[in-house]
């Protein structure tokens, strides 16, 4: 009944669903507070109060025909202008409203830019570990996903392998920093090297290689670490952003693409991306929430909450003998499994009501991902359970 292309997706989804249902079973049996569910990257810190105030003020004062109405497919001009100014202020960029396209979250933004640039058979390179959904996005447009293997010593991208894997057929490279699932922030040094490789390869092949920066975690950075703004290092950079994490609005589906003037043929790319936004079915990003963003452009969620979770869980796991890079961003820990097959570790953890995602789900077996966007109590209470779990692996 369904298309050939959807069949593998449906089969694969059953596995995720099974995991989710197992969590529900555990919660039903032991009570939600006794299950340590680190499997979901769903923000648990509420949206800032300013979001609520903006919504009430907008629906009270603005003309509903405008507030809930159609606008340009790229989004309200004033909203794009406000975001451009905020970016310019914070990162020393030089964007105008026309460089931004409001999208239905970052997932839609990535789809829009891939639809805009990708021809069937062209290659998109990603660095393992990576969000497996990138593969679905690339295959939506009949592109080919090419994986670069992980550098598990630092989880910075493996640039030597990247260099080898770029071909005349490479259309884009996707990076994600701060990074899901490792929490690593790519250093300025890494970005500069990456940019130099892409420049050289563009020359070698006479091609355009887009650097797509998927950065929903940009604002979730700790210890004062700087997250370099990629458009400043490489001209053919397109940024995909989302407010899902920075404002805890994942369900609202609000984000944007930045297509700078420096992108080759930027005018055509911007025009095509606006149309791709429309014909893909989004038409435009949700209107009320667009206007909310313009008012909350410099707000953010309570980062200290995540930071305390990060430190407590990291230290706690280290104390029971687990190994992990201390993350500088996002809300994940990527922990080395004490046994080579991390699925065995994930299965054992369930006995102690601990839920984690195997690294295989990010093309990086031998590791597990813990999302620490949970209550602080959950983290505290989980530590004795981890201690017991690790007894099994001594």
Q: Footprint of its own copies on residues 162-201 (CB under 8 A)?
A: none
Closest to 84 in 3D by CA, of 294, 320, 325: 294
96 three-class SS: coil
Report in angstroms how near the CB of residue 352 gets to its own copies at its nearest: 26
| Member of 287, 328, 337, 361 binding its own copies (CB under 8 A) | 287
The DSSP call for residue 361 is G
**Does residue 206 touch its own copies according to CB under 8 A?**
no
Residue of 19, 23, 42, 387 that binds its own copies (CB under 8 A): 42
Phi-psi region of 285 (alpha: psi -120 to 50; beta: other; left: phi over 0): beta
> For 333, what's the count of Cα atoms within 13 Å in the CB-facing half-sphere?
27
Distance between terminal CA atoms of the chain? 50
Q: How many binding residues for its own copies (CB under 8 A)?
A: 77
Say which DSSP state 102 is in.
Answer: E
49-69 CB burial, b ≥16 within 10 A, e <16: eebeebbeebeeeeeeeeeee
DSSP 8-state assignment for residue 178: S
Is residue 344 a contact partner of residue 321, using CB atoms and an 8 Å limit?
no
Considering only 39, 116, 190, 337, the residue that binds its own copies (CB under 8 A) is 116
d(CA 331, CA 327): 8
Count CB atoms within 10 A of the CB of residue 304: 10
User: In angstroms, rounded to a whole number, what is the distance separating the alpha carbons of residues 154 and 189?
Assistant: 13
According to CB under 8 A, which one of 26, 74, 83, 112 is a site residue for its own copies? 112
Binding test (CB under 8 A) with its own copies, winner from 213, 246, 284, 309: 284
Q: Considering beta carbons, is residue 5 or 388 the nearer one to its own copies?
A: 5
Least distance from C-beta 143 to its own copies, angstroms?
10
CB of 305 to its own copies, least distance (A): 12
Shortest distance in whole angstroms from residue 375 CB to its own copies: 11
- 249 contributes a contact to its own copies by CB under 8 A: yes
238 lies in the site for its own copies, by CB under 8 A: no
According to the binding rule CB under 8 A, does residue 269 interact with its own copies? yes
**Residue 223 Ramachandran class (φ > 0 left, ψ -120 to 50 alpha, else beta):** left
Q: What is the DSSP letter of 46?
A: P
By beta-carbon proximity to its own copies, the closer residue of 125 and 227 is: 125
The piece of 146-154, 283-291, 308-316, 344-352 that touches its own copies (CB under 8 A) is 283-291
Looking at the Cβ atoms of 208 and 320, the one nearer to its own copies is 208
- If binding is defined by CB under 8 A, does position 74 make contact with its own copies? no
- Classify residue 329 by its DSSP letter: B
**C-alpha–C-alpha distance, residues 39 and 22, integer Å:** 12
- Whose Cβ is closer to its own copies: residue 215's or residue 342's? 215
Site string for its own copies, 146-165 (x = CB under 8 A): --------------------
Question: Please, which of residues 12-31 interact with its own copies by CB under 8 A?
Answer: 13
State whether residue 91 is helix, strand or coil: helix
Residue 239 is a binding residue for its own copies (CB under 8 A): no
Closest separation between CB of residue 42 and its own copies, Å? 5
Query: Is residue 214 at the binding interface for its own copies, with CB under 8 A as the rule?
Result: no
């Amino acid at each position: 009944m369904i298309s050939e292309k959807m069949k593998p997706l449906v089969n694969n989804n059953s596995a995720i669903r099974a995991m989710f249902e197992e969590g529900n079973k555990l919660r039903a049996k032991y009570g939600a507070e006794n299950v340590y569910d680190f499997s979901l990257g769903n923000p648990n810190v509420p949206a800032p109060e300013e979001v609520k105030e903006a919504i009430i003020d907008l629906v009270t004062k603005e003309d509903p025909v405008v507030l809930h109405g159609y606008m340009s497919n790229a989004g309200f001009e004033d909203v794009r202008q406000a975001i451009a100014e905020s970016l310019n202020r914070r990162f020393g960029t030089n964007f105008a409203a026309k460089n931004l396209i409001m999208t239905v979250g970052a997932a839609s933004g990535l789809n829009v830019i891939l639809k805009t640039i990708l021809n069937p058979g062209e290659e998109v390179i990603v660095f393992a570990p990576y969000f497996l959904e990138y593969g679905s996005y690339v295959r939506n447009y009949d592109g080919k996903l090419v994986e670069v293997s992980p550098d598990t010593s630092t989880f910075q991208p493996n640039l030597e392998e990247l260099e080898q894997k770029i071909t005349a057929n490479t259309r884009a490279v996707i990076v994600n920093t701060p990074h899901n699932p490792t929490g690593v922030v790519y250093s300025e040094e890494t970005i500069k090297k990456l940019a130099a490789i892409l420049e050289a390869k563009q020359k070698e092949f006479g091609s355009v290689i887009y650097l797509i920066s998927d950065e929903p975690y940009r604002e979730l950075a700790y210890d004062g670490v700087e997250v370099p703004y990629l458009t400043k290092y490489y001209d053919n950079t397109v940024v995909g952003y989302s407010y899902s994490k920075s404002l805890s609005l994942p369900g609202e589906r609000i984000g944007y693409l930045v297509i700078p003037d420096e992108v080759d043929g930027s005018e055509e790319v911007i025009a095509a991306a606006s149309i791709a936004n429309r014909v893909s079915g989004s038409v435009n990003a949700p209107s009320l929430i667009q206007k909310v963003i313009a008012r909350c452009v410099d707000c953010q969620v309570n980062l200290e909450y995540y930071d305390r979770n990060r430190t407590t869980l990291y230290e706690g796991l280290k104390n029971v003998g687990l190994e992990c890079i201390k993350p500088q961003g996002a809300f994940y820990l990527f922990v080395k499994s004490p046994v080579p097959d991390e699925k065995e570790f994930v299965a054992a953890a369930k006995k102690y009501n601990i839920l984690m995602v195997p690294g295989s789900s990010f093309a990086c077996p031998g590791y597990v991902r813990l999302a620490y966007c949970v209550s602080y109590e959950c983290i505290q209470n989980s530590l004795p359970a981890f201690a017991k779990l690790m007894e099994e692996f001594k």
